[in-house]
Amino acid sequence: MQNKYMDEIRKLKQERDAIILAHNYQVPEVQDIADVVGDSYALSKHAANTDNKVIVFCGVHFMAESAKILSPDKTVLLPAKDAGCPMAEMVTAEGLREMKAKYPEAAVVCYVNSSAEVKAESDICCTSSNAIKVVRSVKQKQVLFVPDENLGSYVAEKVPEKEILLWKGFCITHKRVRPQEVMKIRELHPAAKILVHPECQPEVQKLADFLGSTSEIIKYAGSIPEKDIIIGTEEGVMHILKKQNPEKNFYLLSTGLICPNMKKTRVEDVYQSLLHMQHQIDVQEETRLKALRSLEEMLKIS
């Protein structure tokens, strides 16, 4: 049955002139049917530059929304319509406006894990792979970083010349990791390198051998000579890591590193979405134009 969906999806892609984008945290079958698999930054660039008329975004709502902001003339489909992001819901446009009023001199750097309305209230967006460069790029000495306080703490350490004001938001998946888990797994695999995403808490970050975004973790894991590697981000990356590095052993840092929203999309959902052109993403034009400015400023940062 699964093969049937895969074959039908390939046919529908041709008929609809569609491209399938999938985040690294998606289930293996969805990653395998996708045309492009990557982190938020890579997928944003593809969404902005694709010539296809239809974008099927296998991820969560804010990602598909960003694709629509960048490519308003495209039809953007989100196969799992209820795939949200708790972190994105931890900041609202109204709340951000109140904070901006308190710190009128601050530049607002907004993590892409946020709604279009929040992006519209921001000066520039960032992803975990370019957050440091983005913060360094702004002229203001004071930066309001929303909504992930853990990524913001990591950036603050790397960019001490800026005053980073942190929003109290977080990724519920990465926050589950505890320092005790890091120490325990290091005892089990003393020769292994521990690679951790900066959405984890600072106490966990300090125990890692390498800190980086999803794409940076994948690249680093393939470049080092160590055969045993411990992965401290959502377990979906294990699929591509094992495919690219069959000679290496990968261990998940914590059993809690599973995002329920990222796991909602199934191959059948992709098929149904393409077949019926369902779950289309729309963004109000006034909001889209303001949010576009923030995303385009981010994409200027190499």
Q: Which amino acid is at 152?
A: G
Angstrom distance (rounded) from CA 29 to CA 172: 24
Specify whether the CB–CB gap between 286 and 24 falls below 8 A: no
Q: Which amino acid is at 190?
A: P
CATH architecture observed for domain 174-252: 3-Layer(aba) Sandwich (3.40)
Closest CA to 214 of 71, 61, 37: 37
User: Cα 236 to the chain's mean position, in Å?
Assistant: 12
69 CB-side CA count, 13 A: 30
pTM attached to this predicted model = 0.93
Specify whether the CB–CB gap between 56 and 87 falls below 8 A: no
Closest CA to 248 of 265, 230, 262: 230
Give the tokens for residue 295. Answer: 């995303």
**Residue 268 CB neighbour total at 10 angstroms:** 15
Please give the CATH superfamily to which domain 2-84+262-282 belongs.
NadA-like (3.40.50.10800)
User: Do you know the residue count of the chain?
Assistant: 302
User: pLDDT tens digits for the chain (302 residues)?
Assistant: 456 798 999 999 999 999 999 999 999 999 999 999 998 888 988 998 999 999 999 999 999 999 999 999 999 999 999 999 999 999 999 999 999 999 999 999 999 999 999 999 999 999 999 999 999 999 999 999 999 999 999 999 999 999 999 999 999 999 999 999 999 999 999 999 999 999 999 999 999 999 999 999 999 999 999 999 999 999 999 999 999 999 999 999 999 999 999 999 999 999 999 999 999 999 999 999 999 999 999 989 86
Please give the CATH superfamily to which domain 88-170 belongs.
NadA-like (3.40.50.10800)
| Stretch(es) of the chain classified as CATH 3.40.50.10800 | 2-84+262-282, 88-170, 174-252
**Residue 60 CB neighbour total at 10 angstroms:** 27
Greatest Cα-to-Cα distance within the chain, rounded to the nearest angstrom:
57
Angstrom distance (rounded) from CA 51 to CA 289: 20
Angstrom distance (rounded) from CA 122 to CA 292: 10
